[in-house]
Amino acid sequence: MKKTILITGGAGFIGSHVVRLFVKKYPEYRILNLDALTYAGNLENLTDLENLPNYGFIKGDIVDAEFVNGVFEEHRPDAVIHLAAESHVDRSILDPLSFINTNIIGTVNLLSSCLSVWNENMEGKLFYHISTDEVYGSLGREGYFTETTAYDPRSPYSASKASSDHLVRAYHHTYKLPVVLSNCSNNYGPNQFPEKLIPLAINNIKNNNPVPIYGKGENVRDWLYVGDHAEAIDCVFHRGRNGETYNIGGNNEWMNLDLIKLLCKIMDVKLNRLPGTSAALIGFVKDRAGHDLRYAIDATKIKKDLGWEPGVTFHVGLEKTVDWYLSNHQWLDHVLSGDYANYYDQQYKQR
Ligand code: NAD
Ligand code: DAU
């Protein structure tokens, strides 16, 4: 094998798409997926890869420094693509500490292990940190986030991600660790845990349950199909310049209410319901605390420097996503049990 790449968080939503892309596209790489299998991690996302010779899974917690060191000593990865994180803003409002632990301490543990194993020779090594546009804060009705926008995180989730970004850059500056970062906008697509807006709405519409819209539904997000994000990560991993940051976005801004209305139209067709049936389920609930108004990425740099741009239009991507959720009942049933049921009650009962 030419290279060993450790991908953290590979059993999660985006991570599973990245793992699949790398395992299938690069048979000469050994891909090791390190994941704690929290409520968001699901090996059912990767059953098609289980027996492939260039794929391996390691279960463990990146917060455990001794465990992380052991993995590095044993497998001596040439590169890390770091996606493992607590990723849901609403959960970070209920329980900030687990975000501090995984997103900050977990990232430092990985950085420190890279240093100790690569210390002799950093040539050809890379720590690729996957981050979010939320570190830049919230936009008004105009303007875009660029790679030089000042950090202004406003939720425990985004503050923990911002902190991890700073630490990655600090290790690059101080210890000359080869790093690259990317900050992406909202992803959607198959395998996303149904606590996030789009899969939550699909699941509720399917079951004739209310679709909760926070506040007035005026908040704006820039949506990117997860397959496009995985391709962008491939591109940054292979062609990104040492020490650089790349913003990744969909050039695809939607107000939440408009997005949900479009989704309702698609669901009516797919479920053979009369037009307007799904939209009748829309309900406005108490707003998210500190709810950021608008995120929008200026993705000029990655297009200009690396030649990446999104390939899947929103209508096509949403249809593919709806089709996937409507034909994967077992996947949904499995993830909806246990922890999620408790979280859903806690999150929505007061609203
Ligand atoms: P996710 O919540 O679906 O998956 C996270 C994965 O990390 C899970 O498999 C989980 O088991 C694992 N994990 C969590 N804590 C861990 C720990 N302590 N040790 C080891 N593994 C652990 O997340 P996602 O939506 O796929 O996001 C992946 C990454 O991309 C995150 O870093 C997130 O901040 C970033 N990101 C997400 C989006 C988005 O729209 N979802 C957008 C931009 C950036
Ligand atoms: O911008 C990138 C970020 O996008 C990622 O870093 C995060 O990991 C990811 O979770 C996502 O964060 P958001 O908070 O934007 O995503 P979420 O799907 O939770 O919410 C999208 C929008 O929909 C947001 O304005 C809140 C709103 N919302 C969400 C839920 C779950 C609702 O109106 N109702 C809901 O029930």
Tell me the per-residue pLDDT of 190-218, one tens digit each, with 9 for 90 and over: 999 999 999 999 999 999 999 999 999 99
Whole-number Cα distances in Å, 238 to 57, 167, 184, 233, 308: 23, 22, 17, 9, 12
78 is an active site residue: no
- The ligand 2 atom at the shortest distance from the C-alpha of residue 288 is 26
* Fold exhibited by the domain 3-188+224-250+294-312+340-347: Rossmann fold (3.40.50)
DSSP letters for 198-252: HHHHHHHHHTT--EEEETTS--EEEEEEHHHHHHHHHHHHHHPPTT-EEEE--S-
| Residue 278 DSSP SS3 | coil
The phi, psi pair for 196, rounded to 5°, reads -85, 155
Regarding the beta carbon of 86 and ligand 2, being less than 6 Å apart is answered no
157 is an active site residue: yes
Regarding the beta carbon of 165 and ligand 2, being less than 6 Å apart is answered no
- Extents of the domains making up the chain: 3-188+224-250+294-312+340-347
Regarding the beta carbon of 155 and ligand 1, being less than 6 Å apart is answered no
How many angstroms separate the alpha carbon of residue 180 from the centre of ligand 1? 18
- Among candidate residues 157, 171, 214, 246, the one labeled active-site is 157
Regarding the beta carbon of 89 and ligand 2, being less than 6 Å apart is answered yes
How many C-beta atoms lie closer than 10 Å to residue 241's C-beta? Answer: 11
Q: State residue 246's pLDDT score.
A: 98
List for the chain the helix, strand, coil content (%; round to 5). Answer: 45, 20, 35
Strand order from edge to edge, sheet including 186-188: 186-188, 220-225, 253-255
39 is an active site residue: no
- What distance in Å separates the CA atoms of residue 19 and residue 153, rounded to the nearest whole number? 29
Q: 72 — alpha (psi -120 to 50), left (phi > 0) or beta? A: alpha
Q: State residue 339's pLDDT score.
A: 67
DSSP letters for 87-103: --HHHHHH-HHHHIIII
Regarding the beta carbon of 135 and ligand 2, being less than 6 Å apart is answered no
| Residue 331 DSSP SS3 | helix
- The ligand 2 atom at the shortest distance from the C-alpha of residue 217 is 33
Which residues of the chain register pLDDT less than 50?
none
Residue identifier of the C-alpha nearest atom 34 of ligand 2: 213
- What distance in Å separates the CA atoms of residue 322 and residue 270, rounded to the nearest whole number? 8
How many angstroms separate the alpha carbon of residue 83 from the centre of ligand 1? 5
Regarding the beta carbon of 162 and ligand 2, being less than 6 Å apart is answered no
- The ligand 1 atom at the shortest distance from the C-alpha of residue 101 is 18
Continuous H helices in 9-129: 13-25, 65-75, 89-94, 96-99, 106-118
- Among candidate residues 78, 134, 195, 222, the one labeled active-site is 134
How many C-beta atoms lie closer than 10 Å to residue 312's C-beta? Answer: 18
| Residue 164 DSSP SS3 | helix
- 60: CB partners within 8 A, 6+ apart: 34, 35, 36, 67, 68, 71
Q: What angle (nearest 5°) sits at the alpha carbon of residue 95, between those of residues 58 and 82?
A: 35
With b for 16 or more beta-carbon neighbours within 10 A and e for fewer, the 86-125 pattern comes to: bbbbbbbbeebebbbebbbbbbbbbbbbbbebbeeebeeb
Residue identifier of the C-alpha nearest atom 1 of ligand 1: 12
- 41: CB partners within 8 A, 6+ apart: 9, 11, 12, 35
Regarding the beta carbon of 236 and ligand 2, being less than 6 Å apart is answered no
Residue identifier of the C-alpha nearest atom 25 of ligand 2: 219
- What distance in Å separates the CA atoms of residue 45 and residue 53, rounded to the nearest whole number? 18
How far from the centroid of its chain's Cα atoms is residue 63's Cα? Answer: 19
- What distance in Å separates the CA atoms of residue 149 and residue 204, rounded to the nearest whole number? 37
- Among candidate residues 35, 78, 90, 133, the one labeled active-site is 133
How many C-beta atoms lie closer than 10 Å to residue 24's C-beta? Answer: 14
Regarding the beta carbon of 214 and ligand 2, being less than 6 Å apart is answered yes
- What distance in Å separates the CA atoms of residue 108 and residue 306, rounded to the nearest whole number? 28
Ligand nearest to the CA of 219: 2
Q: State residue 340's pLDDT score.
A: 63
Q: State residue 248's pLDDT score.
A: 98
